[in-house]
Structure 1
Amino acid sequence: MLGLGKMGANMARRLARGGAVVHAWNRSPDVALSLAQEHANVLARGSLAELVAGLATPRLVWLMLPAGRATDEALHTLLPLLSPGDTVLDGANAYYKDSQRRAAQLAQAGLHFMDAGVSGGIWGLQNGYALMVGGSARALAAAEPFIKILAPAPDTGWLHCGVAGSGHFVKMVHNGIEYGMMQALAEGLALMNGKREFDIDLAAVTEMWRHGSVVRSWLLDLAAEFLQRDQALDDIQPYVADSGEGRWTVLESVEQGTPAPVTSLALMMRFASQGQGDYANKLLAMMRSGFGGHAVKEGEA
């Protein structure tokens, strides 16, 4: 397991608890050493060369590194260390076209490649992960025993979606749907919060919706949980990050010519929360003042 961030570390823990022996590497070696102290089935490796040398062939190397350069650099180092027949699986968030390119690159060296979109967040360690995997049948045969440990159950919660790239494609669309669902819940709850004369208890509403409602979901469960603790959210900054998969989903809709207005608008709202619309709003204020003489609010942004 290469990359021991929140997801990678917990996946290594679940694998170790499930009986797998995990050779773990991280750019910060202390993280791998700490994980090895937790469980005897985790072996900390100080370098990629040491990790590869410690694995019996045919090897399975599972990447959980940031998309882009970090993954490409790791593959560049790994390629001369691996042997034909070994399998590399990228389980981090990655653009599916990069996965297609990497599969072709590794195939030239006689290596198998799989891509796995992984969902489950910080709860995956306890509940299992949903895994959307792409790659050849040969690559799947190498990875399947470990996929079954990571999944909620050996026969549920994972799917071989098709050829290399298909797993990350399905996960990309999954995250685009997630953007839209989150935005719809947030807008609806904000509308109820704004109707002050009704004094609606949002915690009570979301808890009630969890039972029998057509909008029940894990996202609703999470909303109900934090609203029980705090409905005002005064200490929360209105900033919502985007990890990249929403952007890729919107780009795909443009390339296909397939309309995805909800996902697109949800992504735009995340940009707005990051202050990316502030300059445009200032221009709007000045134009409105220019043609209508309307007052402009001045002060710190």
Structure 2
Amino acid sequence: MTTKHPIGLIGLGVMGRSLALNLADHGFDVSLHDRSPQAVARSVADDTTGRLHGFESLADFVDSLAAPRKVLMMVNAGAPVDDVIAKIAPLLSPGDILVDGGNSLFADTERRSAELAASGLCFVGAGVSGGEEGARKGPAIMPGGPVEAWTALRPMFEAISAKVDGEPCVSHIGPGGAGHYVKMVHNGIEYGDMQLICEAYALMRAAGLDTDAMAAVFDEWNRGELRSYLIEITARILAQRDPDTGAPIVDVILDKAGQKGTGQWTLMNAAQNAVVVSTMGAAVDARVLSSMKATRLVASTRLQGPEARIDLPVAEWVELLRQALYASKIVSYAQGLDLMRTMSAQRGWNLDLGAIARLWRGGCIIRAQFLNRIAEAHADGQAPASLMLAPYFETALNGAQPAWRRVVAQAMLAGVPVPAMSASLAFFDAFRSARLPADLLQAQRDFFGAHTYERIDRPAGQFFHTVWPEVQG
């Protein structure tokens, strides 16, 4: 009798191949299928354990799996996922589990889950973070979907995930599209983190630091409260030389940033739910502006501004930047948590923000030391109205805000764009304001649209309208 395998994997691109090898390394026999037989053959050839088994026929692939069958799809989001589902679903049986490990939009995951549930199939949207290295050595995994599917997948997912203090960086996120939703917000926070680091880099350059000096600064920062994967790789990038020219590699890379859409999805969802994610928004805007290279080159010869130069002692400036970066980072994460909290309440997902912070500590792109602090802020059922009001982060923000203001002010005076840092500071100031100019805004709305307003001297919930004078001319 032929031995049946515990899991199958479809899609042997960079991530799929790496996850297959990771599973094999942890003692799991894996059936493989891809539209390219060559991709299957390469993956099997790269396996040193003998646990990867290729199948050219989708029917043979399905037949090789033990019941209930568990199939992990690692294909591009959108139509490719639907195409694979359409082909494999008729070959599966009630109780079988189909996992989408790509970066799918959570709404698509919820649609697919409902459609497959009608046939008795369990559908899991699992966010997988960490890139090629994470997939190979241990990613952070964010699975949503039915609890019974999580129970079946848990031994494998826990085995292959990253570990921090012996704790696997994987947890059942919630029902439906919760897993892919949390991965989407993770990516939105990632956009903010990356842009903030790039702004710190630009401000170091404006102060006259060369790439080697900047690499040393980021390396030092990675030993303290800013310790994170993104800070670590930034230090390595800035120290890297181009083999063709001998110049710093960052100096020969064109300043046009790409994006795959998850940051934009986060912004659209935040707008739909009336949650402010201004740091992420600034980061997305910065990528869009960077892509306008030809127009920016023209504008650089016609629009005037100061020389991008910071005249402060380097050691003093670097310390101010460190504090400003940390404070801005706190705001970015606070906004991401606000969005998850809002959607959790709306969808009944019951997201455990502390557990999410813990699983983000390893494997994923935004892994950082201060996620321990976020987990602590949400431990034992604690739920601060905002991360910014948790005692540790309140103290950190209050302590950093003088330096933060100096950095943003100096950047403005020097003409160095810092959209994410300035957006973070503006959010901080608005959030801490007992009174905002929205009183005038509401008066304007009432003037032109009779939208009414509440009064400070009357009970909340009572609405009033003023008969305004007509505008002449």
Q: Taking structure 1 as the reference length, what is the TM-score of the superposition?
A: 0.88
Residue 28 (structure 2) pairs with residue 20 (structure 1): yes
| Residues in 2 aligned to 1:190 and 1:116: alpha-carbon distance in whole angstroms | 36
Structure 2: which amino acid aligns with 1:208? E
Q: What is residue 298 of structure 1 aligned with on the other side?
A: none
Choose the corresponding residue for 1:265, options 282, 299, 309: 282
| Residues in 2 aligned to 1:95 and 1:158: alpha-carbon distance in whole angstroms | 20
Q: CA deviation at 1:37?
A: 1.8
- Unaligned stretches of 5+ residues in structure 1: 290-301
Change (3 A) 1:273 1:284: closer
- Alignment of structure 1 residues 21-40 onto 2, 5 Å: 21-39=29-47, 40=50
Q: What is residue 229 of structure 1 aligned with on the other side?
A: 240
Structure 1: which amino acid aligns with 2:156? F
Q: Which runs of 4+ in 1 moved over 4 A?
A: 277-286
| Residues in 2 aligned to 1:278 and 1:103: alpha-carbon distance in whole angstroms | 44
Bigger mean CA offset, 220-229 vs 46-55: 46-55
Q: CA deviation at 1:273?
A: 2.1
Structure 1: which amino acid aligns with 2:220? M
- Alignment of structure 1 residues 1-301 onto 2, 5 Å: 1-39=9-47, 40-125=50-135, 127-153=137-163, 155-196=167-208, 201-212=213-224, 214-230=225-241, 231=248, 233-275=250-292
Change (3 A) 1:60 1:232: closer
Determine which structure has more spread, i.e. the larger CA radius of gyration: 2
Give 3-state SS (helix, strand or coil) of 2:31's partner: strand
Give 3-state SS (helix, strand or coil) of 1:113's partner: strand
Q: CA deviation at 1:144?
A: 1.1
Q: CA deviation at 1:46?
A: 0.9
Q: CA deviation at 1:159?
A: 1.2
- Percent identity, aligned pairs only? 36
| Residues in 2 aligned to 1:283 and 1:167: alpha-carbon distance in whole angstroms | 43
Listed one character per residue, the Cα deviations across residues 224-272 of structure 1 (whole Å, up to 9, x for unaligned) are 1121224462321212211111111011111101011110111111122
CA contact (8 A) 2:124 2:145 kept: yes
Listed one character per residue, the Cα deviations across residues 176-220 of structure 1 (whole Å, up to 9, x for unaligned) are 000000000001111111223x658101111111112x3221100
| Residues in 2 aligned to 1:186 and 1:284: alpha-carbon distance in whole angstroms | 20
| Residues in 2 aligned to 1:34 and 1:64: alpha-carbon distance in whole angstroms | 16
CA contact (8 A) 2:240 2:249 kept: no
CA contact (8 A) 2:187 2:262 kept: yes
CA contact (8 A) 1:272 1:278 kept: no
Measured on the aligned residues, the alpha-carbon RMSD in Å equals 2.2
| Residues in 2 aligned to 1:284 and 1:224: alpha-carbon distance in whole angstroms | 29
Q: Taking structure 2 as the reference length, what is the TM-score of the superposition?
A: 0.57
